[in-house]
């Protein structure tokens, strides 16, 4: 890495602003005027919702796609199905996970906005989420 390349992530403070070099929580760039027009007037700017910064409202930033993964890492070889990207608050997400678990006859949990269902149920969850109107992708292996 070259010395003039800005740091974009730090394990201590998270994502870094490439302009001012501060943590995004303490960035001074986003508070300043972000663009100017040709006529000399300025336009205020703000950080977009999909910037990867966790919000305090319980809804993580989304790109509009629900992704379904199969995973067995750190689970002693047991397979789980992970559903990410559902734009619901924590309480509604837990209710949806409970409904999926009941429908599939399987255990599971909601952790950090991700629904975990025990076993490989990707195809069933794909169809169920499509019925509910979500844009869904199978991701991973």
Q: Domain 66-138 adopts which CATH fold?
A: Translation Initiation Factor Eif1 (3.30.780)
* pLDDT tens-digit series, residues 16-34: 777 777 777 777 775 553 4
The tokens of 63 are what? 């790109």
Per-domain residue ranges for the chain? 9-44, 66-138
Predicted confidence band at 45 (pLDDT cuts at 50, 70, 90)? Answer: very low
Q: What does the radius of gyration of the chain's CA atoms come to, in whole angstroms?
A: 20
SS3 state at 123:
helix
Largest Cα–Cα distance in the chain? 63
Q: What is the number of helices (H) and of strands (E) in the chain?
A: 2, 9
Reported as a single tens digit per residue, the pLDDT across 95-133 is: 999 999 999 999 999 998 899 999 999 999 999 999 988
- Read off the pTM: 0.55
């Amino acid at each position: 890495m070259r010395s003039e390349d800005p740091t974009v992530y730090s394990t201590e403070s998270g994502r870094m602003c490439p302009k001012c070099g501060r943590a995004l929580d303490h960035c001074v760039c986003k508070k300043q005027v972000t663009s100017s027009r040709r006529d000399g007037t300025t336009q205020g700017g703000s950080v977009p919702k999909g910037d990867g910064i966790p919000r305090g409202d319980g809804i993580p930033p989304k790109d509009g796609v629900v992704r379904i993964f199969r995973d067995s890492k750190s689970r002693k070889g047991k397979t789980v199905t992970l559903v990410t990207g559902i734009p619901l608050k924590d309480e509604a997400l837990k209710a949806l996970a409970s409904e999926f678990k009941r429908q599939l006859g399987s255990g599971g949990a909601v952790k950090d906005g991700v629904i975990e269902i025990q076993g490989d149920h990707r195809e069933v969850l794909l169809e169920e989420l499509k019925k509910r109107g979500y844009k869904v992708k199978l991701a991973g292996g």
